[in-house]
Amino acid sequence: MTAAVIFLSGCFASPDVIGDVRDLPQDHFSYIDPATATQALVHPQQQALMDEYQDIMHFLPWEQEGPQTSAQEVEKLFAKFAADPGYGENARRRTREQIDKLRTNADLGGYPNRRLRGITVRNADVRLLPTHRPHYSSPRQGYPFDNLQESTIGPNTPIYIAHLTKDGTWAFAESSFAAGWVRIADIAYVDRSFMRRWQSGLYGVAVKDKIPAVTPQGQTLFKIPLGSIFPLDPSSQGGGIRILTAVANEDRRAVIRVVPVSGGTVVPKPLPLTPRHVAAISNELVNEPYGWGGLFANRDCSAMIRDIFAPFGIWLPRNSADQAREGGAFVDLERFSPEEKEAIILRHGRPYSTLLWRKGHIMLYIGSREGKPLVFHNIWGIRTRDLLGREGRKVIGHAAITTLHPGMELSEADPRGDLLSNLSGMTFLDAPWAPHP
């Protein structure tokens, strides 16, 4: 995730759309080589190992015997925000007393007061404190940079439930990639019988985004995000796919509902890892609105990368730095000049299986055009400076195909924000692979 501060740029009159977004085709099929489009980027045996590891990580919270987050780590967050209560949605200063009230409700003296397995029943925001009220660093830093928004956990994702607040409205929960406070209304408890049926070994993955999951009775349960994993119904017949979904009953116990899905919405995983398939998945997310930490069920840079590769059985961490350093073979680019970095990317980068990382931001390398590397990323904006030297942002606000110099044609663009100059590394997702220790 990439923090930003938005200021008015004063005397500048910028176009609504930067040149890269306007001039470059925003269609991934424009950039894949027909000669290699269907060639596997990894050996099938390697992909099978990656897929097996993804399954292990996906269900890891149900194997836990206790929370992975200590009481001290949870307490530390309350102390952090009590020391700096920040500003609210009305740009007014919050008070320490407001944070203390949240801490009292959290009842951390008894942490953990639950040791339960659970599952999300809808898209669940993961918060650093048990509140949906935002925390901004200054009156001028507003949407979308809520410091309390850690991530989102998609519907029907396994979780471990460690703690409940006094009022019973929030739970401290851990998924395989994010931990924090989630609303009780967004989760359900699971038992051994449910887990046995859910862990069938036969799974499907969504390759379309935000498609409604509708029961045969016409009840819409939630919208399915691209990259979501579901057990397949073994009784599916006639070529149609049905998935198992989870809902909460009146006791907040998870019960299974079988949901038919339209053709091409969910496919058995893993999808073969080819440039054409990665391009097709990426096309589903072009123009996807930027969502800091998953706000409003949108994606930031690392969430988008994570979801793009989920259909291929590739598990990635949630944080951009972790994705870069743990997602595959990492190459440090810090010591090179911008010209050297560009040459290395063009010579060694493998389109649609290489990540490019600068601190706080991650991108998918998709190839080149006129000798310049191209990337696909979800980006809030580019740094600017007005005539008084004040920092700002030219907002892009969505997933786009760009060069590594987006917006540099603008007179107010700050060269210090140039992506190429600030690149720290590249990661080969298709490198020879073994499970993480």
What residue segments make up the domains of the chain, in order of their start? 19-42+273-428, 60-190, 195-268
pLDDT of res. 9 = 36
pLDDT tens per residue across span 98-137: 999 999 999 999 999 999 999 999 999 999 999 999 999 9
Give the separation between CA 290 and CA 378, rounded to whole angstroms: 6
Q: How far is CA 414 from CA 333, 382, 406, 407, in A?
A: 22, 8, 11, 9
DSSP secondary structure letters along 121-152: SS-EEEESSS-SS--BSSTT--TT--TTEEEE
Burial class (CB in 10 A: 0-12, 13-18, 19+), 61: buried
Q: Is the pLDDT of residue 350 over 90?
A: yes
Residue 437 scores a pLDDT above 70: no
In this structure, the chain runs to a length of 437
Average pLDDT, stretch 365-394?
Answer: 92
In this prediction, residue 435 has a pLDDT band, given cuts at 50, 70 and 90, of low
Distance CA(144)–CA(293), nearest Å, equals: 9
Between 143-147, 338-342, 385-389, 415-419, the lowest mean confidence (pLDDT) is in 385-389
pLDDT higher at 189 or 392: 189
Tell me the mean pLDDT in the region 259-264.
Answer: 91
pLDDT tens digits along 152-201: 999 999 999 999 999 999 999 999 999 999 999 999 999 999 999 999 99
Average pLDDT score over the chain: 93
Check residue 436 and give its pLDDT: 53
CATH superfamily of 60-190: SH3 Domains (2.30.30.40)
- Alpha-carbon distance of 314 to 46, in angstroms, equals 11
- CB contact at 8 A, 59 and 156: no
Is a pLDDT exceeding 60 seen at residue 246? yes
Confidence bin at 14 (pLDDT 50/70/90): low
Give pLDDT, residue 236.
Answer: 67
Rounded alpha-carbon distances, angstroms, from residue 35 to 31, 282, 370 = 12, 19, 19
As a whole number of angstroms, the distance between CA 330 and CA 323 comes to: 10
Intra-chain end-to-end CA distance of the chain, in Å = 25
Task: Decide: residue 192, CB within 10 A, 0-12 exposed, 13-18 middle, 19+ buried.
Answer: exposed
Q: What value does the mean pLDDT take over residues 256-260?
A: 96
Residue 4 banded pLDDT, cuts 50, 70, 90: very low
Tell me: the pLDDT tens digits for 34-43? 999 999 999 9
CATH code: domain 195-268 is: 2.30.30
Q: Do domains 60-190 and 195-268 have the same CATH topology?
A: yes
C-alpha span between 215 and 205 (Å, rounded):
18
Strands of the 229-231 sheet, one edge to the other: 229-231, 203-206, 266-268
pLDDT of res. 25 = 98
Architecture per CATH, domain 19-42+273-428, reads as Alpha-Beta Complex (3.90)
Most confident of the following: 230-244, 263-277, 386-400: 263-277
Q: By percentage, how much of the chain surpasses pLDDT 70? A: 95
pLDDT of 193: 97
Tell me which H or E stretch contains 162.
strand 158-164
**Would you say 260 and 241 are in contact if contact means Cβ atoms under 8 Å apart?**
yes
pLDDT at residue 364 greater than cutoff 90? yes
